[in-house]
Amino acid sequence: MAPADPRIVTRKKHLMRIAGILLCLGAYVALPGPTALAQHSKRPELRYVGSSTVGLFLRDAEPVYDRVRFVIDTAPESAGGERAILEASTDLAGIARAPQPETLRAGIVATAIGRDGIAVIINSRIPVTNLTLGELSRIFTGQVRSWREVGGPDLPVRPHIVGTDSATRDVFRAAVLGAAGYAGCKTVEPDAKMLQLVAATDGAIGQISFSFLDDTEGVRAISVDGEAPTTTNFDYPISRPLYLLWREENEQARNFARWARDLEGQRVVMRRFVGFRVVGSVRGKPTRPETGTLLVYTETSPVLDGGIYYYPHRSYEILTREGQLIRRVVNHRGRNDENPTAVHLLPGTYLIRAESQRRKNVEFFATVEVGETTQVYVEELIGETLE
């Protein structure tokens, strides 16, 4: 629910107006007691087989969606999940690509829940920040043997790819290699091991879903064709849809799939992926004349990478004045990025909901004007309410 009676908070860089009222709600987090654990065990089971990427969404959803207890098997990845739902050996399947026509003809329901990007990660000791699709194609087809050929040091290139059952492998190949095949690559299974292997291997480069990117030291995601790998950049060139597959007669699966597309479910989706409710592209490029720019300086969290601490800004949500979710903003391009994301919006007043360590959440109104930059400093707003 949107806060009432907003007051004016003024700070100028170019021309800026922020209409805001801060709502900070404190809360204590308690570990689940015996009663809570007993209630959890009594929930009906919902068996899941399939994509490890979609599986991350289920793990995020379980504490929020309290109607079932998930039993998750991601070892078979997308291909195995699609086989399992066709054989009726699972309640719910997940795939990180479009479903096969024969699956739909068999009466399986496919629910799109969002989009995922496939990041290109390299060993952080390689001082390369961007590769073109052409350079990536030559690397993963074995044509580039040294990083010197693509602007790096004189060090062997060691490409890594995920296993054959992972949709990531096929989507990356279609977007980057075209009709060519992988060559000279080491296969990594399961997908989640990619980060550790690239970090441990000099000259390594690999492919991995955005959703797996974490604070693993020694790994860095790079831009592709100048586009940063973030969940808010729709123009990143390597992406794929995410689907839940289920049978109409399975009520528990049907209810969960519908929840995943509702407002609450989409908030969970947008922790790692681009939600299907998101409208428009968020890019760090010049503003079009009919829009304005919003910069929200949220609280920061320390991240250690290569022996150096970085302080990326925390995520936040943009909502209408009535409280309808527009999009979730990760608010940094990568774990080493300390600048907030520039969001281009139509003129108007928006409700902003920011994450905070000091309070449960922080809500305020921000007004965006055509051709102007609106800057919000969350720490200052919190400080004012504590004085």
DSSP of 148-208, one letter per residue?
Answer: GGGTS-S-B-EEEEE-TT-HHHHHHIIIIITT----S-EEESSGGGHHHHHHHSTTEEEEE
Q: Is residue 250 part of a domain?
A: yes
Residue 119 pLDDT exceeds 90:
yes
CATH number at residue 76: 3.40.190.10
Q: Which run of H or of E encompasses 240?
A: strand 239-246
Residues 315, 175, single domain; the answer is: no
Q: Is residue 235 part of a domain?
A: no
Q: Is residue 61 part of a domain?
A: yes
8 Å CB contact between 280 and 293: no
Structural domain for 246, as ranges: 38-111+241-275
- The DSSP 8-state label assigned to residue 17 in this structure reads B
Start-to-end CA distance of the chain, whole Å, equals 25
Q: What's the pLDDT tens digit per position in 311-348?
A: 888 889 998 888 888 888 888 766 667 888 888 888 88
Residues 160, 173, single domain; the answer is: yes
Residues 75, 138, single domain; the answer is: no
Q: Please, which pLDDT band fits residue 21 given cuts at 50, 70 and 90?
A: very low
If one compares 121 and 284, the residue with the highest pLDDT of the two is: 121
pTM of this prediction exceeds 0.85: no
Q: What mean pLDDT do residues 275-290 have?
A: 51
Residues 124, 263, single domain; the answer is: no
Residues 192, 260, single domain; the answer is: no
Residues 120, 220, single domain; the answer is: yes
Domains of the chain: total: 3
Residues 107, 82, single domain; the answer is: yes
Q: Is residue 363 part of a domain?
A: yes
If one compares 328 and 223, the residue with the highest pLDDT of the two is: 223
Residues 289, 359, single domain; the answer is: yes
Q: Is residue 233 part of a domain?
A: no
Q: What mean pLDDT do residues 301-307 have?
A: 76
Q: Is residue 63 part of a domain?
A: yes
Cα 35–chain centre separation: 33
Q: Is residue 44 part of a domain?
A: yes
Residue 6 pLDDT exceeds 60:
no
Single-letter amino acid code for the residue at 208 = I
Residue 33 pLDDT exceeds 90:
no
8 Å CB contact between 243 and 95: yes
Q: What whole-number percentage of the chain has pLDDT above 70?
A: 81
Cα 56–chain centre separation: 11
Buried b (16+ CB within 10 A) or exposed e, 130-153: ebeeebbbbbbbeebeebeebebe
Least confident of 101-110, 142-151, 165-174, 228-237: 228-237
Is the sign of the CA dihedral 146, 196, 230, 183 positive or negative?
Answer: positive
Residues 145, 245, single domain; the answer is: no
What counts of helices (H) and strands (E) characterise the chain? 10, 23
d(CA 6, CA 366): 10
pLDDT at 381: 74
pLDDT at 107: 94
8 Å CB contact between 127 and 153: yes
8 Å CB contact between 381 and 20: yes
CB neighbours of residue 220 within 10 Å: 24
pLDDT at 10: 33
Give the CA distances from residue 137 to residues 15, 142, 181, in Å, rounded to whole numbers and listed in that order: 45, 9, 9
159: nearest Cα among 97, 201, 117: 201
Q: What mean pLDDT do residues 79-86 have?
A: 97
If one compares 80 and 39, the residue with the highest pLDDT of the two is: 80
263 Cβ contact partners less than 8 Å away, ≥ 6 residues apart: 277, 324, 325
> How high is the mean pLDDT of the chain?
82
Residues 121, 218, single domain; the answer is: yes
d(CA 229, CA 239): 10
d(CA 327, CA 330): 10
d(CA 207, CA 195): 9
Q: Is residue 145 part of a domain?
A: yes
d(CA 57, CA 320): 25
